[in-house]
């Protein structure tokens, strides 16, 4: 029963430091600042961005509609992936680039289960919960495959997961005999759209539930502590009685669960799948979310709330760009700008420069007073 | 020692990956002929009777859309050993990869190179090399930008005509104002250029035709849904969704459903899609969509007969053969059409 170690820097208050510097030291500074910037931009450019209205959907249910709802809704898969990706990053010091492809596999398995052998099924052939559980199980197996390569064969995570990145979508297609199954049963789509009578998109609830579960797990188990210590120094963790290999493997299996849930949300949005396009490039966004959350991509200390916030920032950015009719092909370029800024800001050289720049005026001000 | 071992493993891994990358779409039966064992390869245009005709098929990713799935399945069902072919298939949506593989196939001296190019440009060198090597090129499904002399035949969909049929149909609906959400396919592909071209022309020419937004969703349903959702959120009025394939039309319709905007027959918004998926025909039949432009994916048999003719020394009567296509309206579509054309 150990709570995760908090960033010690945030707890020690040094009286001689300016407020600005204390703020910038906070791990959540970058994602919060980015979010505030985006909100301010939208407030100034067009406040109607934040308008939320109640509409009636085609089934006659009242539903909330607006950009903010869209952000919360569309970020769901990314947030769930970012949580798992944070753990993997922290424990193994590398990222899983196969999450998009394994999402295709999980989605394909779930559709195969509920559709049976039909290409276009009107009723579910199996209780949905069972199909999802099978999808999670399969996804955990693929997570374990990645984790084994990383933990026991000591292959670079990016190289190890390149295998599933390359093969995953072909496997997903093979699971359904290269057909594109369609599930027409409306109850299948509840998880990706709206539950009857509830005006908030279901993915928002699923995401909240996942966040809650991880909060509880990190609060009441040693997973967070162990993951951090393995990421910081695997050898000394081993000397202290931990099994670094097992913990690395475990984080990949947990990511597998996250991937399956994200895949389920994605396929239930439309009741269908397109193997080569589903969740394309989502791995890059998930990694970006982790970085945006102020987590070191080389592993060690982590903060899943930073990654969650990072994921929402990315979706906020995407939605903002769509609102201003930026071509969807240009979106990666804007994300690249964010990455460049992040990398530059987090470079030690720049950090030192910034710190000394802030120190000088603060000192001068003190002398004057 | 450990490091060396890890390095060796990594090397082995990347090698096996490279192998994966090159071959994952190639069925086992399709290895290229071993050097020396096929003297006939030097006279590819006239393979002797009883010998298999070697064919290289470059197609797009079968998982890209329902259209492509049907197209690829038909090609694979036609160019089999029983039918007298020794075929190598390659599927990729990346034109650069397609070109590289085509180059390889030409070097392997296939008799016929069948192409469905992912983009219309960049094929000049391959086509020249093919001509020099005596490989005959037949285009299927999609055109590319090259002189007619560079290929022996083309069995393709007339994309500009498809676009024009659709735009003419839309014009005939007689709306006071056309506020269009235009969701484009993969930029630069023949299908996108043809279907966009006709609409672009009309919007430029008519004062009451406007784009609310014009975005590419890269044939992706989820992106199409997001684009439509963002227009709905912005509150801009629109009454037409012109999606360049059925998957994207479905994504857009899902966004409409979520916001309670009626569409299809008697709806507020006209929904238009393209291709040949059976489920999409059913959407039109049920009146949830208004229009579907048929794009016939089944060119395999026509290509097959052209090759057989060429092998027998008969030139095809026409260089460019357009597959028969038409647009279907929700008011006139019948179950018989669905059964005939749906794939």
Task: Return the ∠ at Cα B55 (arms to B51 and B61), rounded to 5°.
Answer: 150
ipTM over 0.90: no
Pick from B10, B218, B254: CB nearest A156: B10
pLDDT value of position B40? 40
How far is the C-alpha of B73 from the C-alpha of B87, rounded, in Å?
Answer: 14
Q: Give the predicted TM-score (pTM) of the model.
A: 0.82
Q: Which of A76, A120, A145, A276 to mutate to test the interface with B (most CBs of B within 10 A)?
A: A276
How far is the C-alpha of A167 from the C-alpha of A130, rounded, in Å?
Answer: 26
pLDDT category of residue B343 using cuts at 50, 70 and 90: confident
Q: Nearest-CA distance from A140 to chain B in Å? A: 22
Contact B10 A194 (CB under 8 A): no
SS3 for B245? coil
Name the nearest CA neighbour of A110 among A255, A267, A262, A257: A267
- Residue with the bigger pLDDT between B174 and A369: it is B174
Residues of B in contact with A48 (CB under 8 A): 234-235
Residues of B in contact with A318 (CB under 8 A): 226
Is there a common fold for B9-157+297-312 and B159-295+328-341? Answer: yes
pLDDT value of position A354? 75
Q: Is B331 a residue whose pLDDT tops 80? A: yes
CB B271 within 8 A of CB B207: no
For chain B, what percent of residues have pLDDT higher than 70?
Answer: 85
pLDDT value of position B210? 95
Residues of B in contact with A329 (CB under 8 A): 187, 216, 218
Contact A277 B257 (CB under 8 A): no
pLDDT value of position A28? 82
Q: Which of B258, B275, B282 to mutate to test the interface with A (most CBs of A within 10 A)?
A: B258
Tell me: domain B9-157+297-312, CATH 3.40.50.2300, correct?
A: yes
Contact A167 B20 (CB under 8 A): yes
pLDDT value of position B42? 40
pLDDT category of residue B11 using cuts at 50, 70 and 90: low
Contact B257 A57 (CB under 8 A): yes
Tell me: domain B159-295+328-341, CATH 3.40.50.2300, correct?
A: yes
Answer whether B338 touches A (CB < 8 Å): no
Domain limits of chain B? 9-157+297-312, 159-295+328-341
Weakest mean pLDDT among A201-210, B68-77, B264-273, B316-325: B316-325
Q: Is B47 a residue whose pLDDT tops 90? A: no
Rounded (to 5) percent helix, strand, coil in chain A: 70, 5, 25
The count of C-alpha atoms lying within 13 angstroms of the C-alpha of B142, restricted to the half-sphere facing its C-beta, is 26
Tokens of A31: 């994602």
Contact A65 B64 (CB under 8 A): no
Contact A274 B278 (CB under 8 A): no
pLDDT value of position A89? 96
Q: Is B49 a residue whose pLDDT tops 70? A: no
Q: Nearest-CA distance from B191 to chain A in Å? A: 18
Residues of A in contact with B260 (CB under 8 A): 55-58, 63
CB A31 within 8 A of CB A306: yes
Q: Nearest-CA distance from A147 to chain B in Å? A: 15
Q: Which of A51, A75, A274 to mutate to test the interface with B (most CBs of B within 10 A)?
A: A274
How far is the C-alpha of B98 from the C-alpha of B68, rounded, in Å?
Answer: 16
Strand partners of residue B184 = B216
Residues of B in contact with A262 (CB under 8 A): none
- pLDDT single digits (tens) B180-239: 999 999 888 889 999 999 999 999 999 999 999 999 998 889 899 999 999 998 889 999
pLDDT value of position B8? 56
Pick from B93, B230, B247: CB nearest A322: B230
Residues of B in contact with A277 (CB under 8 A): 63-64, 218-222
pLDDT tens, per residue, chain A with 369 residues? 444 544 544 455 555 567 766 766 677 888 888 899 899 999 999 888 898 988 888 888 889 989 999 999 999 999 999 999 999 999 999 999 999 999 999 999 999 999 988 888 889 999 999 999 999 999 999 999 999 999 999 999 999 999 999 999 999 999 998 888 899 898 999 999 999 989 999 999 999 999 999 999 999 999 999 999 999 999 999 999 999 999 999 999 999 999 999 999 999 998 888 888 899 889 999 999 998 888 888 888 999 999 999 999 999 999 998 888 888 888 888 888 877 887 787 667 777 787 777 666 655 555 554
Q: Nearest-CA distance from B229 to chain A in Å? A: 8
Q: Is B22 a residue whose pLDDT tops 60? A: no
End-to-end CA distance of chain A: 49
Helices (H), A19-127: 19-25, 29-45, 67-74, 76-92, 99-115
Name, in order, each residue with C-beta under 8 angstroms of B316's C-beta and a sequence gap of 6 or more: B152, B153, B306, B309, B310
To the nearest whole number, what is the mean pLDDT of chain B?
A: 85
- pLDDT single digits (tens) B102-159: 999 999 999 999 999 988 888 999 999 999 999 999 999 988 888 888 999 999 989 9
CB A328 within 8 A of CB B216: yes
SS3 for A353? helix
Answer whether B73 touches A (CB < 8 Å): yes
């Amino acid at each position: 029963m150990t709570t995760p170690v908090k960033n010690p820097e945030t707890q020690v208050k040094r009286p001689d430091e300016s407020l600005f510097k204390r703020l910038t030291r906070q791990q959540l500074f970058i994602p919060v600042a980015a979010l505030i910037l985006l909100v301010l931009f939208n407030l100034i450019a067009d406040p109607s961005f934040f308008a939320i209205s109640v509409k009636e959907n085609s089934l006659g249910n009242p539903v909330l509609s607006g950009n903010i709802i869209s952000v919360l809704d569309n970020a769901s898969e990314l947030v769930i992936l970012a949580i798992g990706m944070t753990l993997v990053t922290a424990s193994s010091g590398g990222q899983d680039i196969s999450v998009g492809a394994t999402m295709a596999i999980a989605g394909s398995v779930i559709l195969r289960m509920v559709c049976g052998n039909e290409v276009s099924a009107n009723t579910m052939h199996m209780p949905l919960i069972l199909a999802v559980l099978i999808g999670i199980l399969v996804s955990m197996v693929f997570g374990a495959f990645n984790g084994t390569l990383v933990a026991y064969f000591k292959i670079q995570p990016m190289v190890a997961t390149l295998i599933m990145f390359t093969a995953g979508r072909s496997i997903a297609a093979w699971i359904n005999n290269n057909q594109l199954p369609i599930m027409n049963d409306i109850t299948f789509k509840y998880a990706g759209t709206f539950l009857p009578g509830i005006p908030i998109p279901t993915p928002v609830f699923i995401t909240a539930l996942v966040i809650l579960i991880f909060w509880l797990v990190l609060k009441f188990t040693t997973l967070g502590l162990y993951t951090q210590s393995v990421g910081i120094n695997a050898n000394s963790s081993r000397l202290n009685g931990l099994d670094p290999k097992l913990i690395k493997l475990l984080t990949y299996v947990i990511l597998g669960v996250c991937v399956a849930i994200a895949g389920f949300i994605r396929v239930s949005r439309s009741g269908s799948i397109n193997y080569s396009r589903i969740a394309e490039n989502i791995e890059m966004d998930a990694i970006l979310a982790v970085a945006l959350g102020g987590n070191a991509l080389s592993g060690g200390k982590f903060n899943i709330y930073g990654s969650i916030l990072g994921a929402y920032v990315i979706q906020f950015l995407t939605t903002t760009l769509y609102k201003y009719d930026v071509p969807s092909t240009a979106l990666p370029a804007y994300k690249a700008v964010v990455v460049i800024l992040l990398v530059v800001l987090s470079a030690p050289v720049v950090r030192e420069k910034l710190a000394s720049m802030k120190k000088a005026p603060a000192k001068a001000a003190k002398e004057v007073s | 020692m450990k490091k060396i071992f890890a390095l060796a493993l990594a090397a082995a891994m990347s090698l096996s990956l490279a192998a994966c990358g090159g071959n994952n779409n190639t069925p086992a039966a399709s290895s290229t002929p071993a050097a020396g064992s096929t003297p006939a390869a030097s006279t590819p245009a006239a393979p002797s009777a009883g010998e298999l005709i070697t064919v290289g098929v470059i197609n797009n990713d079968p998982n890209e859309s329902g259209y492509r799935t049907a197209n690829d399945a038909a090609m694979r069902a036609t160019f089999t050993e029983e039918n007298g072919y020794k075929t190598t298939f390659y599927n990729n949506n990346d034109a650069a990869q397609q070109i590289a593989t085509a180059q390889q196939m030409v070097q392997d001296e296939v008799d016929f190179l069948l192409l469905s190019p992912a983009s219309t440009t960049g094929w000049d060198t391959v086509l020249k090399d093919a001509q020099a090597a005596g490989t005959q090129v037949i285009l299927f499904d999609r055109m590319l930008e090259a002189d007619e002399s560079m290929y022996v035949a083309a069995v393709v969909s007339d994309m500009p005509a498809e676009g024009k049929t659709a735009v003419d149909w839309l014009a005939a609906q007689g709306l006071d104002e056309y506020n269009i959400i235009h969701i484009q396919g993969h930029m630069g592909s023949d299908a996108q250029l043809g279907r966009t071209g006709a609409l672009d022309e009309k919007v430029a020419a008519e004062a009451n035709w406007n784009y609310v937004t014009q975005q590419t969703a890269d044939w992706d349903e989820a992106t199409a849904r997001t684009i439509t959702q963002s227009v709905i959120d912005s509150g801009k009025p629109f009454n037409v969704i012109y999606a360049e394939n059925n998957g994207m039309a479905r994504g857009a319709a899902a966004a409409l459903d979520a916001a309670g905007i009626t569409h299809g027959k008697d709806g507020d918004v006209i929904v238009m899609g393209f291709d040949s998926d059976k489920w999409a025909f059913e959407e039109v039949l049920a009146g949830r969509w208004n229009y579907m432009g048929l794009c016939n994916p089944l060119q395999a048999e026509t290509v097959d007969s052209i090759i057989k003719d060429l092998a027998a020394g008969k030139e095809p009567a026409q260089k460019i053969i357009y597959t028969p296509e038409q647009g279907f309206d929700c008011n006139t579509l019948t179950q018989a059409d669905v059964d005939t054309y749906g794939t």
